[in-house]
Structures are given as C-alpha cells and as structure tokens.
Amino acid sequence: MAATDKALAGLRQMIASGQLGPRAKFPPEPELCDYLGVSRSSLREAVRSLAALGVIESRHGSGTYVSALDPASIISRFSLSVELIPLEGVLELLEVRRVLESHATAAAAARQDPDLAAKLSEILDRLESTTDATEIQFLDAAFHGAICSAGGNPTVTALTDVIRGRGGHYRIFEPGADFNAIKLTSDRGHRAILSAIETRDPAAAATAASAHIAQTELWLRALRPEPQPDLP
C-alpha cells in the first residue's frame, strides 16, 4: 500500500476503533510517523486529507485533534467541493434541497415555536423592501435557514445550507428584464410559507416550500444552455 494511503488508513483506524474519540488529541507528528511507519511528509498529507473532510483538526503549536464528529460540521465542509459543481449538477442538488427543506418546513410548522413566526415576518419585511442582490441573498438564506433550524435536525439544516450557498452563486436576482416579476413571485412564495407556519399547517408548509424551491429550479434551468450535440 502507498505510504500516504497507509497513513490515512491508520489514522482512520485509530478513530474508528474507538482508540480516539471526538475531540481527542493525537500523538505528536514524529511519534505518529514512527507508529504508522511513514515519513513526516506522507503523514502530513494524510492529515490534510482528513482535515479537509472535517474529521481532524490541526492547531498550530498545540497539536492535532479528532473533530467533534457531528454530522452538521462535517457536511458543512462539503461547501468547498459543492461550490465548484457546474450548473448541470446543481439542478440535481436542488431536488435534494427541495425534498429536505419541504420536510423541515413541515416539521417547523408542526413544532409551534412561538417566536419563529415573528422572526420570519421581520425578515420578510426587510426582504421585500430591498432590491440589492447581495442583501436579497443574505435575507433569503436567513429565512430558509431559520425555518430549517426550527425543523429540529441540524444535519438537514447543514445540507440545505450547503446547497443553497451553491445555488446563490448564480444570482438570479441580478437586476434585469425579469427582475421585478421574479422578485414578486419569490416574495409571494415566502409569504405562503410563513402563512402555513403561522397557521400550524404542516402539509401546507411542505407544499409551499416545495413549490417555492421548484420555482427556483425552473429559473436556474432557464439559465442552462442547451447541450451541444456531438459533431463529427
């Protein structure tokens, strides 16, 4: 087995076996090199790999540690790769977001958090009174993020956050020909979601969220250039 792969497998084994639990500290690098039988360069490349995946954290001058190993923080590392996915793949991801966020929105409506509706209402007031693309994106993320958090599953929140962050790069809301129509449709979608949450109607909330995100998918799909036929 290659040196870096050997180190990678060894480090993962130390965690998987329970020898090192969440937030535990690894031995110093020279000691790990000896234990794993690889050079320091190879060990460090293996550590970097696991750090990129959110499994390990290196702190300069302090040591190398196992991360908290909670799904939400691991999933959030995904944004580094998801942000590079081309539009074609983003459409597949948006279907995931639609399904998950619809579920989370229904859960939020069922939970009856007394402060949620007021908080969402304030966000929408500000969202409807701005035309700045960056602020729209920020407030939209705040609205959907607050709902997902209220849904009670941090993993779902993390996943939808990552996907929303990728979609946001396409800037549907740049001022242009259809800006007013798109903004109006989007605002109405948000109000429908809020209304369902206010009336504690999970089914309506799920439908409204699903429809709202499906609308986003349609707008993004319109940006996709037609696939080029293979010319001989």
Partner DNA sequence: TGACCGGAAATGGTCTGAGGACTTACGCTT
Partner DNA sequence: AAGCGTAAGTCCTCAGACCATTTCCGGTCA
The footprint of a second copy (CB under 8 A) covers 4, 12, 15-16, 22, 41, 44-46, 48-55, 69-72, 74, 77-78, 80-86, 89-90, 92-93, 95-96, 99-100, 103, 153-156, 159
CA 127 to chain centre: 21
Tell me which of 11, 15, 42, 90 binds DNA, using CB under 7 A: 42
Least distance from a second copy to the Cβ atom of residue 130, Å: 27
Q: Is 2 in the site for DNA (CB under 7 A)?
A: yes
Choose the one of a second copy, DNA, none that binds residue 137, judging by a C-beta under 5 to 8 angstroms depending on kind.
none
Choose the one of a second copy, DNA, none that binds residue 103, judging by a C-beta under 5 to 8 angstroms depending on kind.
a second copy
Tell me which of 11, 64, 127, 158 binds DNA, using CB under 7 A: 64
Contact 217, 94 (CB under 8 A): yes
What distance in Å separates the CA atoms of residue 124 and residue 38, rounded to the nearest whole number?
Answer: 56
What distance in Å separates the CA atoms of residue 83 and residue 94, rounded to the nearest whole number?
Answer: 13
Contact 52, 71 (CB under 8 A): no
Contacts 24+ apart (CB under 8 A), 59-68: 63/25, 63/26, 63/28, 64/25, 64/26, 64/29, 65/23, 65/24, 65/25, 65/26, 66/15, 66/20, 66/21, 66/22, 66/23, 66/24, 66/25, 66/26, 67/22, 67/23, 68/22, 68/23
Least distance from a second copy to the Cβ atom of residue 184, Å: 29
Binding region for DNA (CB under 7 A) out of 10-18, 25-33, 148-156, 207-215: 25-33
Contact 151, 108 (CB under 8 A): yes
In sequence order, the β-bridge partners of residue 56 are: 66
Least distance from DNA to the Cβ atom of residue 55, Å: 15
Least distance from DNA to the Cβ atom of residue 38, Å: 4
Choose the one of DNA, a second copy, none that binds residue 192, judging by a C-beta under 5 to 8 angstroms depending on kind.
none
Q: Is 23 in the site for DNA (CB under 7 A)?
A: no
Using CB under 7 A as the criterion, which residues of the chain lie in contact with DNA when the complex forms? Answer: 2-5, 26, 28-30, 37-42, 44-45, 47, 58-64
